[in-house]
């Protein structure tokens, strides 16, 4: 049997016809025998009807448009400007409370929607976080390499048949960044090749998959204590991540880009 608390929770959905058939029938059974809920229903129904009336729509006064355009550089916040206009309307009494209330409600709804939009992380932000998570997981579960070898002629053929592309593999042992193996990983919605290098005791995960032919210079930045870099060359995307310093990562990238892949 539905109680008052459950009834009040379902009331907005019933008015907006958003309840399932079983929920609507149960709500109506409770409503037929409860005067308190009947009063609450009638009050909310009237509010809903008023908000749907066309005369709640108002054209922005020309002076308001002028002031908004003049304030676009951002001298004051939107809420401050609305507060000034609200004060004039309520003081003058020409428009009344209902239009002002409807306009404020619209602004709140638009601001909430915009907040949701801008709170969604970008594709690059999601990819970066996914890459950091993958790197940490490879360290925690001791899964740096599926194929363990310092020989690029062993690592490169290992990927044959496992990917729809052939990743470039470079040997940088003489530069102080020895190749120690490779593995398959899943990143950005696809299987990717990972070449694993080391700088002293610091592993460097190099993720490679096909991308734009347009070359993009590396940019090194830090996230969660790791240094990352992203660039593209010869139709491949490259992402490198390590807990070594930014200078060490930069030198690794310079050496890697200086050697033609075989």
What are the b/e assignments for 78-92, b being 16+ CB within 10 Å?
A: eeeebeebeeebeee
Report the pLDDT value the prediction gives residue 115, as an integer from 0 to 100. Answer: 55
Query: Using an 8 Å Cβ cutoff, are 112 and 119 in contact?
Result: no
Q: Which domain holds residue 67?
A: 58-119
Report the pLDDT value the prediction gives residue 199, as an integer from 0 to 100. Answer: 94
Residues 177 and 230 in one domain: yes
Residues 87 and 170 in one domain: no
* pLDDT band of 36, cuts 50, 70, 90: confident
Residues 131 and 252 in one domain: yes
CATH number for 131? 3.30.200.100
Question: How do residues 167-208 score in pLDDT, each as one tens digit?
Answer: 999 999 999 999 999 998 888 778 899 999 999 989 999 999
Residues 187 and 254 in one domain: yes
Residues 148 and 232 in one domain: yes
Higher confidence at residue 245 or residue 261? 245
Question: How do residues 57-107 score in pLDDT, each as one tens digit?
Answer: 666 777 777 777 777 765 556 566 656 655 655 555 544 445 555 555 665
Number of domains into which the chain is organized: 3
Give residue 171's Cα distance to chain centre: 37
Question: How much is the pTM?
Answer: 0.53
Residues 229 and 105 in one domain: no
Residues 20 and 114 in one domain: no
Residues 97 and 197 in one domain: no
Give the mean pLDDT of the chain. Answer: 77
DSSP string, 98-114: HHHHHHHHHHHHHHHHH
Residues 191 and 110 in one domain: no
């Amino acid at each position: 049997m539905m109680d008052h608390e459950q009834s009040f929770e379902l009331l907005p959905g019933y008015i907006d016809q958003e309840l399932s058939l079983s929920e609507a029938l149960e709500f109506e059974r409770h409503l037929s025998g409860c005067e308190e809920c009947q009063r609450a229903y009638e009050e909310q129904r009237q509010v809903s009807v008023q908000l749907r009336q066309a005369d709640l729509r108002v054209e922005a006064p020309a002076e308001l448009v002028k002031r908004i355009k003049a304030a676009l550089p951002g001298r004051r916040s939107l809420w401050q400007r609305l507060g000034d206009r609200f004060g004039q309307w309520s003081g003058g009494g020409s428009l009344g409370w209902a239009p002002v209330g409807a306009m404020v409600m619209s602004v709140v709804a638009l601001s909430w929607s915009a907040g949701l939009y801008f709170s969604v992380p970008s594709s690059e932000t999601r990819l970066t976080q996914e890459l950091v998570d993958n790197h940490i997981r490879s360290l925690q579960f001791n899964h740096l390499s599926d194929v363990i070898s310092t020989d690029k002629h062993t690592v490169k053929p290992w990927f044959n048949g496992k990917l729809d592309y052939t990743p470039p593999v470079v040997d940088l042992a003489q530069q102080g960044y020895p190749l120690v193996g490779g593995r398959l990983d899943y990143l950005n919605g696809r299987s990717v090749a990972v070449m694993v290098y080391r700088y002293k005791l610091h592993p460097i995960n190099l993720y490679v998959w096909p991308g734009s032919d347009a070359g993009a210079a590396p940019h090194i930045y830090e996230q969660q204590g790791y240094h990352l870099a992203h660039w593209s060359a010869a139709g491949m995307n490259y992402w490198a991540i390590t807990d070594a310093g930014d200078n060490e990562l930069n030198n690794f990238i310079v050496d890697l880009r200086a050697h033609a892949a075989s």
